[in-house]
Amino acid sequence: MENCNLKYIPDHLHTNNRPIIRKFNLGHLLYHRAKPEDVENPYKRVTIAELSHNLGGDPHNPLSQPQDVLFSVKNDEVVEKYEDREICTLKIISLNDENHYDKEFSQEKNGHNATGRIKLIHKPVPCMYPHCTFRVWLNGTIVTYDNYKQTLKKWNKIRTELKEELASMMIQRVVSQE
């Protein structure tokens, strides 16, 4: 992975060839930056594809601080920090046997079946090692901004189940496999 070349990003957030975290732990924290109006009712604007969070990790030995999630890590953005955003702190309260948050939802429609899947993955970028996303698949295909209309947009129930997951995280401030 290339090095971080944004001077305003603190060194402890640089990835610097650190390994990908394969398992999560109960009690660890995630931070998400959101517009206040998005938190009020996440159903209004929540983005299902690749929703970014920072892994705070163990509160006693943190990987990142809450305000770190406000940093812009894109080279082409003018702002260094999204000062107008709210920080949502989520606590991981349950995981599956593999220490993952990983859920599936199915729908049958006009004789066709589809399965949506949402999974928390660690996805470090050069200037933000703690970066994680809630990755979504539809029938095994990763849902992105580009293919959204051809995938999830067509499956109302799966889309709503996924939104319900993300909305409940933002309101209840927990990540739960239950």
Instruction: Give the residues lining the site for other proteins (CB under 8 A).
Output: 40-41, 43-45, 93, 109, 153, 156-157, 159-161, 164, 167-168, 171-172, 174, 176, 178
Q: Which residue has the tokens 């999630």?
A: 69
Judged by beta carbon, residue 21 or residue 167, the one nearer other proteins is: 167
Instruction: Give residues with Cβ within 8 angstroms of 82, minimum separation 6.
Output: 33, 70, 72
Judged by beta carbon, residue 91 or residue 122, the one nearer other proteins is: 91
C-beta of residue 55 within 8 angstroms of C-beta of residue 122:
yes
Shortest distance in whole angstroms from residue 81 CB to other proteins: 26
> Tokens in use for 99?
């220490």
Judged by beta carbon, residue 99 or residue 160, the one nearer other proteins is: 160
Hey, which bits of the chain come out as E strands? 29-34, 51-57, 86-92, 102-109, 112-122, 131-138, 141-142, 174-175
Shortest distance in whole angstroms from residue 118 CB to other proteins: 14
CA-based torsion, 43, 50, 160, 105: positive or negative:
negative
Shortest distance in whole angstroms from residue 158 CB to other proteins: 11
CA distance 143 to 147: 6
Judged by beta carbon, residue 141 or residue 172, the one nearer other proteins is: 172
Judged by beta carbon, residue 2 or residue 178, the one nearer other proteins is: 178
Shortest distance in whole angstroms from residue 15 CB to other proteins: 32
Shortest distance in whole angstroms from residue 164 CB to other proteins: 5
| 147-32-124-134 Cα dihedral, nearest 10 degrees | -40
Strand partners, 33: 87
